[in-house]
Structure 1
Amino acid sequence: MNGKHIEIFLVDGVPGGMTTAEIAGWTGHVLASERSSLGALLRRPEAQRNGAYLFLSDDSDAVAGVRTYIGRTENFARRFPAHAELKSREWDRIVIVTNKDDSFSEGHWGYLESRLVELARLANRCTLTNGNDPQGRRLSEAAQSDMEAFLAQLQIVLPVLGVDVIRSRETAKAADSIESVSPEFTLTDTRRKVDARAQVIDGEFTLLTGSTVIAKWISKGIAEATQRAYAVYREEHERLLADGSIVVENGVGRVARDIRFTSPSRAGAIALGRSCNGRISWTWSGGTYAQWEDRGVDEINEDAHGIAELRLTDRS
């Protein structure tokens, strides 16, 4: 996969403030803002143009802890005052997607809105609050191709801004990069009826749909530090049960959607119901996760060792 030059601009000059993002050579423009900057956002030129938008909010009861609304408008600044439902609802962040040369018609944005909702449902990384599935406008084959190319770039920009609601395995595979998706790792425990599969996808350790894991967290630990850690794991496992990420069938937990973790050890603990050294416990045809993670490092060390020996030989 070719590298991407993404330009991030902090409008307010501070992290966490209003932010714009563009990719070199892409006609798209993304503006992200916290709710506290809504007034300033509505005065921005981006808010006066055709575009699509996403409302995002943290919600512990939502899938993956995120609630999302996706829409489109000819003029967001005029649309928002009439958006009574979203004005009253709790939301934390808004993202507006526009086209710098303003060449897309209402039909183009209707198509994009429909595809964004479709991808969000496919990724299953949020709870969508859209009442109905938007019906994309009929576009010519050429126009659809243009919008799919536009969307491919948007799928790269949004995660850079911390918006992962349309990020999925399919997105990574579409990137056509050997670095995007790792080999498939497995973790099994016959006694606990655990048969889990995972991959590193776009840098995230992902427990895959269809894996079987513990149905209920029972372990408590003996040492005080272990008890605290297990309490955190138990809470996370219960949250995954509550939002439907893990469903219990015949006393076995089944992963109903891809679940992302910050480390293989955390994923392993949730699967097994106990502490786990994920770098060793997760394996693939080439060895352990640790061996896959360190791929290429041995060659570099060997090259460095060879250079050092060569220099010693030259000195002697």
Structure 2
Amino acid sequence: MSVGKSVRLFLSEGTPGGLITAEIMNWTGHVVAAPRSDLAKLTKRPEASRTGIYLLLGEDPDSVGGMVAYIGEGDDVSRRLYQHSRPEEQGGKDFWERAILLTSKDSNLTKAHARYLESRFIALATEAKRARLVNGTAPGQQPLPESDISDMEYFISQAQIVLPVLGVNIFRTTKPAKKSISPVTEVAAESGTESPIFEIVSKKHGIHAQAREIDGEFTVLEGSMVRKQWISTAAHTYEQLVPKLKQTGVVVDSDDGQTARFTQDYVFASPSAAAAVVHGRTANGRTEWRIPNGGINFGQWQTLGVENEPDTD
């Protein structure tokens, strides 16, 4: 049984593009997100002077996920942000346009905790493959007492709920979420929902791809066989997806010379984008993806249980 979560957001400037704070009930963690233009305000906040983790995010049109990120930690995060705000020739970083701070409201995070979190978040981002990381080297896992590790893993599980609400998806994976136990409430929380498996099959072209909606995201599953390249003569933005997927190793050519296959689960922006990569041409994903053995299509599945238009008279 899924357990709901209440995420409290506060728009410090009254606008969605400004500084935002985020919290979860019964979680000691605290998240602050701000655009680079609000860096001066961000570094003056009390949270920024605490020990914690920070993310620097920017756009990367050449990568599959379209994002570039840096993950760091510090005893005084504001000092680290100041250093990263300088020009690159002075040791700073130019790529980022948004900063995210993760600290603790009770100020109980230590340097050892922060290093553990940094290492784990880098590992999670590497596994998710949703952003190009510019961290030079990933720090080794920091040794902590068993009880501290449990607390830090809970901290991470809650951050993985809050961050996507702020539009930060670099840690989201396609694996089913594990149940986590709150050290405060001891309530099992289960996040992430999965749809039935949908497929596209073309025996003529050797295509057999499977996908499902996981936690609201349309995900093509590892091992799916797709067209080797774009075959349509009509230009489309989806055409650029195929070389990007191959460049990053998400899709590799098969031995038959006609098809390619997914080496991992991969999240698409829409079922139509996924169907286009599978067919090598534009396609309506809502009708192309179907439950196996003659089942309903994805669009029909989405509207299951929806009543007829209500009578407004």
Question: Once the 2 structures are TM-superposed, how far is the Cα of residue 9 of structure 1 from its aligned partner?
Answer: 1.0
Report the Cα distance in structure 1 between the residues aligned to 2:7 and 2:93, rounded to whole angstroms. Answer: 34
Among 292, 296, 300, the alignment partner of 1:287 is 296
Among 233, 242, 245, the alignment partner of 2:238 is 233
* TM-score computed with the length of structure 1 as normaliser: 0.85
Larger radius of gyration: 1
- 8 Å contact from structure 1 (residues 80, 87) kept in 2: no
- 8 Å contact from structure 2 (residues 202, 208) kept in 1: yes
- 8 Å contact from structure 2 (residues 12, 21) kept in 1: yes
- Count how many residue pairs are aligned between Structure 1 and Structure 2: 294
Report the Cα distance in structure 2 between the residues aligned to 1:7 and 1:80, rounded to whole angstroms. Answer: 25
- 8 Å contact from structure 1 (residues 185, 198) kept in 2: yes
Among 80, 85, 105, the alignment partner of 1:100 is 105
Q: Does 1:193 align with 2:215?
A: no
Report the Cα distance in structure 1 between the residues aligned to 2:31 and 2:17, rounded to whole angstroms. Answer: 15
Among 217, 226, 244, the alignment partner of 1:204 is 217
- Which secondary structure does the structure 1 equivalent of 2:70 belong to? strand
- Which secondary structure does the structure 2 equivalent of 1:120 belong to? helix
RMSD: 2.4
Q: Does 1:296 align with 2:305?
A: yes
Report the Cα distance in structure 1 between the residues aligned to 2:79 and 2:227, rounded to whole angstroms. Answer: 50
Identity rate, percent: 43
Matched residue, 1:312: none
Q: Does 1:263 align with 2:270?
A: yes
Report the Cα distance in structure 2 between the residues aligned to 1:90 and 1:38, rounded to whole angstroms. Answer: 14
Paired residue type of 2:121: L
Name the structure where helix makes up a greater proportion of residues: 1
- Which secondary structure does the structure 1 equivalent of 2:204 belong to? coil
- 8 Å contact from structure 1 (residues 173, 180) kept in 2: no
Task: List gaps (5 residues or longer) in structure 1.
Answer: 221-226, 306-316
1:154-233 matched pairs, under 5 angstroms: 154-170=159-175, 172=177, 174=179, 177=190, 180-220=193-233, 227=234, 230-233=235-238
Distance 1:171 1:16, change over 3 A: farther
Paired residue type of 1:288: N
Matched residue, 1:37: 38
Cα deviation, 1:182-229, whole Å, max 9, x if unaligned, reads 122111222322221111011111112221211211212xxxxxx3xx
Report the Cα distance in structure 2 between the residues aligned to 1:296 and 1:288, rounded to whole angstroms. Answer: 15
- Which secondary structure does the structure 2 equivalent of 1:169 belong to? coil
- 8 Å contact from structure 1 (residues 61, 243) kept in 2: no
Paired residue type of 1:6: V
Task: List gaps (5 residues or longer) in structure 2.
Answer: 181-188
Report the Cα distance in structure 2 between the residues aligned to 1:283 and 1:53, rounded to whole angstroms. Answer: 41
- 8 Å contact from structure 1 (residues 22, 29) kept in 2: yes
- Which secondary structure does the structure 2 equivalent of 1:196 belong to? strand
Paired residue type of 2:27: W
